[in-house]
Amino acid sequence: MKKRWEYYEVDENIVENISKKHNISRIIAQILVNRGIVEDKEIQIFLAPTRNDFLNPFLMSGMDKAADRIIEAINNNEKTIIYGDYDVDGITSITVLKKFLQERGLEVGTYIPNRLDDGYGLNKEAIEEIAKKGFTLMITVDCGISGINEIDLANSLGIETIITDHHEQAEVLPKAYCIIDPKKKDDTYPFRGLAGVGVVFKLIQAISQKLNLEDKEYLKYLDLVCVGTISDIVPLVNENRTIATLGLKLIKQTRNIGLRELIIEAGIKEINSSAISFGVAPRINASGRMGKQMEALQLFLTEDLEEAKKITSQLNKYNSQRQDTERRIYEEVIEMIQKEDINKLNTIVLSSNNWHHGVIGIVASKVTEKYFKPTILICFDGNEGKGSGRSIPGFDLHGALGNCTDTLDKYGGHEMAIGLSVFKNQYEEFKKQFEKIAEEKNVKDIIPIIKIDCQINRKDFSEDLIKQIKMLEPFGEQNKQPIFIYKNLKIDSIRTLSEGKHIRLSLKDENFVLNAIGFNLGHLAEGLLMGDKVDIVGTLEVNKFNGLETIQMNLKDIMKSVKT
């Protein structure tokens, strides 16, 4: 698929001023400007965030009321339960809040819906069971903002609910005791991008301040808050960047036995955002995807080393099962797509009776990446279908489903990722509606864009450049690894790997040699020959091989140079 290369518009005077004032290279200064980070205070926080950079939690609507209500529950030893989600964000949210409240003397129950049986969010059967057990206060974490009917039921059963969430609200809010969600339409909190566990972190920060506790009483949970934040793919800027940066430091010396064992079991050598995203998160998420969410929660709660080792080993098995299931479903989806003429369609919506509901979200993400179309996959069990969807930049998936409510049972999520329920007799009509909305939004005209941070040449390559790029870590949403362009390189060697899946090149600029690797870009080798002059875009990384370290380019795209 053809991609469009775009440069950021840069004021060279601003770049020069930032470079000199903060003693950083022009390249790093330009990247900061590209990210919109130009004020001295912003730059200082971005490059070296501290615990003093956390925002005032009471700026968030409902925080004061929620903190007072929970303190009342602590003082009265009220029967309280935390209702969470089965992904990493939800599990870390439950862990942090449970441990914090237990240390305040309040024993709390926990409930996580089974992904396969209950689906996402609040459900009536669970609330009825919670009421039977005598709980009078329920605190939701990473869910609840869309549970209008469920909160009504809780109210009727004598349960007061504090909702903490970070998902988009619908037109109507649940009638909870109070709601803490920076994405509420009337909320004026300065940062809307917190993960669910980030909202919980602000809650325990607020409670700590009201109880005059030392800062360490909430800061010590930053390791788990960091894991949940990075795993939920929220923007790693502003307060999330402070959480991630300080949290990664704490993870290196974490006292959480389960987290420590998981890192060891995953073979992680260097603690960074990639290690969390690709080493820790998949193992925790796998338990929820396979319907074993309570084991992941117990891993973070346990104080027993042998139990932690046992659970970690089990999570590895779940992850392997998840990978096998994911591979099978992906192959089936691709086969279904190849039988249809998807070029005529703006969207991909497919269903089956044999798919694993806990895995289809990952598959939808891969299909979206491959075909660059909004994708929704639905698994039917009898008449009821549960689905997961992923979008492309420029198309609001959550907003689109808001116009399909007459064909859906329920839905929730974000602009880029959603979950939904649909009945089989409404499925075809839903497909038509969704496709029509995408057509009206001109989805076909959306072209993948590669935003280029900076042009580099052979003079820029040094260990110091790599060190300075590390200053921009942790990388994630809205703070992606910098994309560089290098022009007029001569192909010295070119070959494909893994049966044409990947591409590897050796490129020359006079006597300077640059190695480049392009994963899943093997098709770009077509039409390229040794001796051709090319322009390449990609990220810079250190390749370690046989004890040697060299800088190489991880390719995002390649095209023949324009002759001048």
Q: Of 11-15, 409-413, 486-490, which range is least confident? A: 409-413
User: Contact at 8 Å (CB) between 551 and 542?
Assistant: yes
- Residue partners of 483: CB distance under 8 A and separation at least 6: 450, 451, 452, 453, 537, 538, 539, 556
- In this prediction, residue 288 has a pLDDT band, given cuts at 50, 70 and 90, of confident
Average pLDDT over residues 139-167: 95
For residues 358 and 396, the model is more confident at 396
- Between the two ends of the chain, the Cα-to-Cα distance in Å is 26
User: Contact at 8 Å (CB) between 102 and 108?
Assistant: yes
Q: What is the pLDDT of residue 2?
A: 81
Q: What is the pLDDT of residue 515?
A: 93
- In this prediction, residue 141 has a pLDDT band, given cuts at 50, 70 and 90, of very high
Q: Of 72-76, 92-96, 263-267, which range is least confident? A: 263-267
Q: What is the pLDDT of residue 116?
A: 66
- In this prediction, residue 411 has a pLDDT band, given cuts at 50, 70 and 90, of confident
Q: What is the pLDDT of residue 10?
A: 87
Of all residues in the chain, what percent are helix, strand and coil, respectively (each to 5)? 45, 20, 35
Q: Which of 285, 364, 355, 309 is nearest to 112 (CA)?
A: 285
Q: Of 99-108, 282-291, 504-513, which range is least confident? A: 282-291
pTM of the full structure: 0.86
User: What 3-state class would DSSP assign to 54?
Assistant: coil
Q: What is the pLDDT of residue 119?
A: 65
Q: What is the pLDDT of residue 118?
A: 67
- In this prediction, residue 463 has a pLDDT band, given cuts at 50, 70 and 90, of confident
**Domains of the chain listed by start with CATH number:** 4-10+451-560 (2.40.50.460), 53-316 (3.90.1640.30), 340-445 (3.10.310.30)
Please give the full DSSP string across 105-172, using - where no structure is assigned: T--EEEE---TTTT-SS--HHHHHHHHHTT--EEEEES--TT-HHHHHHHHHTT-EEEEE--SPP-SS
**Phi, psi at 116, each rounded to 5°:** -80, -35
Residue 464 has pLDDT above 90, yes or no: no
Q: 542: part of which helix (H) or strand (E)?
A: strand 533-545
Average pLDDT over residues 269-278: 92
Q: What is the pLDDT of residue 92?
A: 97
User: Contact at 8 Å (CB) between 243 and 229?
Assistant: yes
- Residue partners of 396: CB distance under 8 A and separation at least 6: 415
Q: How far apart are CA 210 and CA 229, in angstroms?
A: 25
Q: What percent of the chain has pLDDT over 70?
A: 98
Q: What is the pLDDT of residue 1?
A: 67
Q: What is the mean pLDDT of the chain?
A: 92
Peptide bond into 235 cis (omega under 30): no
